[in-house]
Every structure is written in C-alpha cells, then in structure tokens.
Amino acid sequence: MKIGLYFGSFNPIHIGHLLVATHIREAVQLDEVWFVVSPQNPFKQMNELADEQHRLEMVKLAIENVDYFKAIDIEFNLPKPSYTYITLKELTKQFPENKFHIIIGEDNVAKFKDWKEADWIMSKFDVLVYERKTENIKSNISNLIFFNLPLFDISSTEIRNRIRNNQSIKYFVTDNVEQYITFHKLFM
C-alpha cells in the first residue's frame, strides 16, 4: 500500500490538517494517510503541548468516520524527542510491504536540513510538501514534491489562543474534538 505519513504534534488537530491530508491523498493516490502523533517534537517546547494521550484521542475523534485515515502512536514507545528517521526505520521494519511518503508543510522545508538524518530520509522517501505562505523555499531545496492547496490560515497555535481568550473554535476543529477539548479543559 502507498501510505502518507503525516507527522505532527496535533496540538490540537484541526480542519486544516484534515483538508491537507485529503488533498494530498487524492493528488498522489495514496491508499491511506497515517497521522503520526509526535509526543515530543525536538523543535517545540514541551510546556506548550497537551498530554500525548489527549492529542492522540483528538486525532482519533477527528478521523473516526474516515476509513483511509489512521491515528498512529508508534512514537510513544520510541526514544524522545521524536526523530522522524527513527520512526521511519521502525515503520519500515514493522510494515515492509508498504511504500511510505512523508507529508510536511512548506513551513517545515526551511528546517528540513536540520532534521537528524535528513539526507537519508530524502534518499529513501518521497517528501510531499503542501504549500503555505512561506516564500522562496522551492528554489533552495531539491527532491521535494510540492502541492498547491487552497490556503486555510488555521493553526493549532491560533486555536489554543482562541480557547485562552474565550473565543469560539467552532469550524476550526471537528465538533467531537471541540467537545473533547471542552470536557477535558485543554489549552485553558
């Protein structure tokens, strides 16, 4: 199977993530997209993150009615911080029959050279990049496949800020994720 690996903190998962996954899946004709919840991204501060189990549960809720989306917690049992190359080695060991593709946002392209084993990743996997508002990235990096998507200026940071400011997050996240956040008093 052709699998897209969408790595992220998903703090929380939002409509933009789901739209990107849907668009890339269709454009590349992926069989499935796996949302790989990262317990600790080496580029992010831990104090900003909701508990990894909460983030995993929100992903499961957001994709519960979509057969070709899966929530993956493989990084929960790997060393922290979570390095993509370690996860990729583990996934290819566990699922050798699958062809994996990495899905990243254009904002991550500038940092890609700083990823551990970035050259190894580039030599083994297609990196599918969804364009955002970053400028002049394409000319500096080769071996990346870019996809032009409708721009939705939604971020997990904005959602967390809206929650802290008692503003609505309706239509930013799925209804069941909004209910989960409210019930567990996350990001307040």
| Rounded mean pLDDT for each run of 10 residues along the chain, 188 residues in total | 96 94 94 95 75 97 97 94 94 97 86 88 91 54 70 85 96 97 95
- What domains can you pick out in the chain, each with its CATH number? 2-151 (3.40.50.620)
132's tokens? 């955002």
pLDDT of residue 114: 86
pLDDT of residue 139: 42
Answering whether pTM is above 0.75, one says yes
pLDDT of residue 153: 74
Determine the 3-state secondary structure of 155 from DSSP: coil
By CB neighbour count within 10 A (0-12 exposed, 13-18 middle, 19+ buried), where does 66 fall? middle
CA 119, CA 81: separation in Å to the nearest integer? 19
Q: Which residue type occupies 152?
A: F
* Rg over CA atoms, the chain: 16
**Cis previous bond, 12, omega within 30:** yes
